[in-house]
């Protein structure tokens, strides 16, 4: 089980603009601190935490942040429409379109995904895999 994901950012204000255009719509709450941004899903009514948390921080070693080649963080959306809406919001908030939302032949018939880069260059996926929505073949 993944407990949290952290991406590096040199410009926290730009990162905040980008991620705040996406993550609150997925239920994440933002806390800001001297060490960066923390996006956390609220605890469940039974008191259990929902994982993973997502952090945006300057690198701890003090060197410039870089995007990992082959690294990607994927966020599950509630619907194909939400994938499209959040992808557009991310681009409007300073992200760069990597691949427009749509179906991918390599994945299941309902896997609908869009890719973008945050202002630091980190690759972000927004996806839906709802079998109750129209699929690739229909």
SS3 66: coil
Q: What is the pLDDT of residues 61-71, one digit of tens each?
A: 999 999 988 89
pTM of the model: 0.90
Could you tell me how many helices (H) and strands (E) the chain has, helices first? 2, 8
Within a domain: 84 = yes
Angstrom distances, CA of residue 78 to CA of 21, 121, 131: 16, 25, 12
Q: What is the pLDDT of residues 93-126, one digit of tens each?
A: 999 999 999 999 889 999 999 999 999 999 999 9
Within a domain: 138 = no
Strands 72-76 and 123-128: parallel
Q: Domain containing 42: what range?
A: 4-59+71-128
Within a domain: 95 = yes
Count the domains in the chain: 1
Beta bridge partners of 115: 99, 125
Within a domain: 64 = no
Which DSSP symbol is given to 99? E
CATH of the domain at 52: 3.10.180.10
Within a domain: 115 = yes
> Residue 138 pLDDT > 80, yes or no?
no
């Amino acid at each position: 089980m993944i407990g949290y994901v952290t991406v590096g950012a040199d410009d926290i204000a730009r990162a905040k603009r980008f991620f705040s255009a996406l993550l609150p719509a997925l239920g994440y709450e933002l806390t800001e601190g001297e060490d960066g941004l923390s996006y956390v899903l609220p605890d469940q009514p039974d008191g259990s935490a929902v994982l993973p948390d997502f952090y945006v921080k300057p690198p701890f070693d003090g060197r410039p942040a870089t995007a990992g080649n082959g690294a990607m963080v994927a966020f599950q959306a509630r619907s194909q429409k939400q994938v499209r809406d959040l992808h557009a919001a991310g681009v409007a908030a300073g992200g760069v379109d990597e691949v427009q939302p749509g179906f991918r032949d390599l994945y299941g018939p309902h896997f609908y995904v869009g890719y973008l880069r945050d202002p630091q260059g980190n690759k972000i996926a927004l996806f839906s895999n709802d079998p109750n929505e129209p699929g690739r073949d229909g």
